[in-house]
Amino acid sequence: MKAWLQQHLAALVRAARRLTDSPLSTLLSILVIGIAMALPAAGYLCLDNLKTLGANSSRAQQMSLFMNTGASEKTRSDVEKRLEATLPDQWRFVSRDAALRQMEANEGMAEIVASLPRNPLPDAFILEPDNADPEHLETLRATLSAWPGVAHVQLDSAWIKRFDAFLRLGRLAVHLLAVIFAVGLIAVTFNTIRLQVLGQAEEIEVARLIGATDAFIRRPFCYSGVLQGALGGLTAALLLLAGTLALAPPVSRLAALYGGTFAPHGPSFLHSLALVASGAALGWLGAQLSVRLIRDQ
Amino acid sequence: MIVGSQICKRYPGGLEALKNVSFEIAGGEMALVGGHSGAGKTTLLKLLSAIERPTSGSLIVNGQNLVALRPAALPFLRRNLGLVFQDQKLLFDRSALENVLLPLEIIGLAPRDAQRRARAALDKVGLLTREKTNPIALSGGEQQRLAIARAVVNRPTILLADEPTANLDEESARQVLDLFIAFNQVRVTVIIATHAPQNLFPGMAVRVLTLNHGTLTP
């Protein structure tokens, strides 16, 4: 076991040495891998931020529950109790008088309101459910509509559905992009390792003649692929972090102009770790494909 | 012990390098494989080191029939063989010591033990003071001695050498041959392919297998 670990450690050291022996080409390879990984990861990060933005937007999850105009005080009280049980602290009551006053306050509406023989507006509840999932909101709307005394429940579902469809499409595009760039990353690693294998042909031949197994010969190349992929993943995470830091102030200012507060978040530690790990895995895969050449030599 | 029986080696294209070659070499023996250029000496050495396989016949080295040897078993067979080539096959991107360390890294010897054993091998061939030197800076004779150090560092039971003195001056050739004698004296089987076996060990009774157009002559 100790000898096995020592051989792996020695292979890792040899792989690192091979990378540092040609620093410029190693740096370029890592940069190419980093950029290839950063693009789909940036797309994912954008969608994640948009999702957060959508969830933060009150309009995205706001529903209006309108009572029948002739609903009694008791009916309204029943609805209040039910709402408190269903959506505790996620609703507020707007009386028909308050709604009329709000309407009256709007420019040009005062005369129209004054000309009305009576208040035509119903009592209403404004709901802001914590769970903004479109399917959940649709179910909630159907449930609330069936309550006694409720005339209509309005949900800006079209907007939410459009937003959700956009996010779904974006996610699909990001996944496709990730697959394309993953193939590209494997190709880059394959080519880099292939060149290393060709460059080390003499050493491979000598090692074979003095009793090296295929595994012994392949090991440093595989570690080389893993190191390049992992460093590429780290580069991608750093590029995303730098991009987020650069974009955060103007995005926040833009959000403030629309009366909101929003600061885009960069890659989390786990996200960065996933980038490094997937880079290492793809690098290993590219190296594995490339070292098949050794067997064919 | 090495036992070859009715060995034939035919290359693609029809060239028959060895024809029905049979021989026995006892453990600890020294044998020379002689013959003119193209007689089949190198082919025989390649068969003995399992670089190539016989087309027919059987070849038993260290109790293993090389004709039926699985590819996965080859590295382990070669670890018990020391190979010395005419062109040395040294690695010029590492030092003399690192060249000798390579077989020990392959068998997974602990670094400290490996260093000690590699230095002992370099000492044996008189190159300990040149351990940090790149092989390219060594003379032809020193390069050949370094190749021998690498071949014996794993303590092989059989040492195979293909024209080890071909490109060396007389003094360097003598030093190299003395090393082979020294290893043979500690019961290592030594087989040397050479085009001039009679000049190699003058005054010594060494068995010579002479090949002529792929067949062993009596």
The domain of A143 spans 63-155
Measured distance CA(A74)–CA(A128) in Å, rounded: 23
Domain identity same for A107 and A241: no
Count how many pairs of residues, chain A against chain B, have C-beta atoms within 8 Å.
54
Domain identity same for A134 and A230: no
Domain identity same for A183 and A51: yes
Last-in-domain residue among A155, A179, A195: A155
- CATH number, domain of A126, equals 3.30.70.3040
Domain identity same for A226 and A175: yes
Report strand pairing: B56-61 vs A124-127.
unpaired
Please state which of the ranges A50-64, A183-197, B137-151 shows the lowest mean pLDDT.
A50-64
pLDDT band at residue A295 using 50, 70 and 90 as cut-offs = low
Domain identity same for A149 and A30: no
Instruction: Answer yes or no: is pLDDT of A239 > 90.
Output: yes
Chain A residue numbers touching B83 (CB-CB < 8 A): 209-210
Domain identity same for A16 and A85: no
Tokens standing for residue A184: 């590209």
Domain identity same for A130 and A272: no
Q: What is the largest CA-CA distance in chain B?
A: 50
Instruction: Answer yes or no: is pLDDT of B133 > 60.
Output: yes
Domain identity same for A76 and A145: yes
Residue type, A144: L
Kindly report the backbone phi and psi dihedral angles of residue A74, in degrees, each rounded to the nearest multiple of 5, phi listed first.
Answer: -70, -40
Instruction: Answer yes or no: is pLDDT of A155 > 70.
Output: yes
Q: Is A207 on the interface with B (CB under 8 A)?
A: yes
A208 contacts B103? CB cut-off 8 A: no
A2 contacts B78? CB cut-off 8 A: no
Q: What is the pLDDT of residues A15-49, one digit of tens each?
A: 898 888 889 989 998 999 999 899 999 988 988 88
Q: How many domains in chain A?
A: 2
Of A6, A210, A216, the CB nearest to B78: A210
Domain identity same for A49 and A94: no
Last-in-domain residue among A155, A186, A203: A155
Domain identity same for A69 and A134: yes
Helix (H/G/I), strand (E/B), else coil: A144: helix
Domain identity same for A217 and A264: yes
Q: Is A84 on the interface with B (CB under 8 A)?
A: no
Last-in-domain residue among A107, A125, A155: A155
A212 contacts B109? CB cut-off 8 A: no
Chain A residue numbers touching B89 (CB-CB < 8 A): 202, 205-206, 209
pLDDT band at residue B209 using 50, 70 and 90 as cut-offs = very high
Give me the sheet containing B2-10, strands edge to edge: B16-25, B2-10, B56-61, B64-65
Residue with the two structure tokens 């190419």? A32
Domain identity same for A244 and A112: no
Chain B residue numbers touching A202 (CB-CB < 8 A): 89, 91
Q: Quick one: what percent of chain B has pLDDT higher than 70? A: 100
pLDDT at A296: 60
DSSP state of A148: T
A209 contacts B78? CB cut-off 8 A: yes
